[in-house]
Amino acid sequence: MDLLKVTNLNKSYGKKIILKNINLDCKVGEIIGIFGRNGTGKSTLLKLIFGTVKADSILIEINSEIIPQRKVISSKRIGYLPQDTFLPKEQRVREIIPLFFPNGEEQDKIFYSPQVSSFEKIKVGKLSLGQLRYLELLIIGSLSHQFLMLDEPFSMIEPIYKDVIKGLLLELKKSKGIILTDHYYYDVLEITDKNFVIKDGKIFEIKDKNDLVKYEYLNSNE
């Protein structure tokens, strides 16, 4: 079983401790949800694992092989979907897909995915938030990374695409390990295998919505 293991993760900005002694495992075949109020370090956690933000300390291992943080991106074993789009806005969807997938068979897999035919002629900048997020996930998820870090895949998107994205993530987890953050906790809890919440720089495993209240991520009336 392929395993991503992150240990001794620490990050501070000056005297402000963001994340302290974080340990996290993710196996291929599971989806892990990370919750936390704004500013608690959810997005920072993903960026630290991916390597776009430098950690004070971190040990990253994949199948017991140590991957230096500075080499995570070049290793192409961990993919990362940021909150901001990475696709050129002036190009049409049908022009962008071949940029990532020169092989015709790989292209067909994207073009024939659910819903894509309904927006393949549209420029990226004109897509709805749901269409855009789904397209980004299709592209990232179809690359060869063993593990995916997803920052708010459900944020502000239409209900129809929430369902399409959930289906895609459940399909992707058959061959990948996925760690995601999102404020739409109902959607996250519906598809995850394990969940954690970040509070005061530390990470705690949670079982359900009641634990989100316990750790003050949610109010009891939400």
CATH code at position 55: 3.40.50.300
- Per the structure, how many domains does the chain have? 1
Strands laid side by side in the 194-199 sheet: 78-81, 147-151, 177-181, 31-35, 194-199, 202-206
Q: What pLDDT shows up at residue 91?
A: 96
Pairing of strands 3-13, 16-27: antiparallel
Cα–Cα dist 202/20, whole Å:
6
In a domain, 178, yes or no: yes
In a domain, 220, yes or no: no
pTM tops 0.85, yes or no: yes
Q: What is the DSSP letter of 131?
A: H
107 lies in which domain range? Answer: 3-214
Q: What pLDDT shows up at residue 174?
A: 97
In a domain, 138, yes or no: yes
Q: What pLDDT shows up at residue 220?
A: 76
For 182-199, b/e burial (b = at least 16 CB within 10 A) is bbebebbbebbebbbbbb
Q: What pLDDT shows up at residue 1?
A: 74
pLDDT 10s digits, 189-207: 999 999 999 999 999 999 9
Ranges of residues in the chain whose predicted pLDDT is under 70: 222
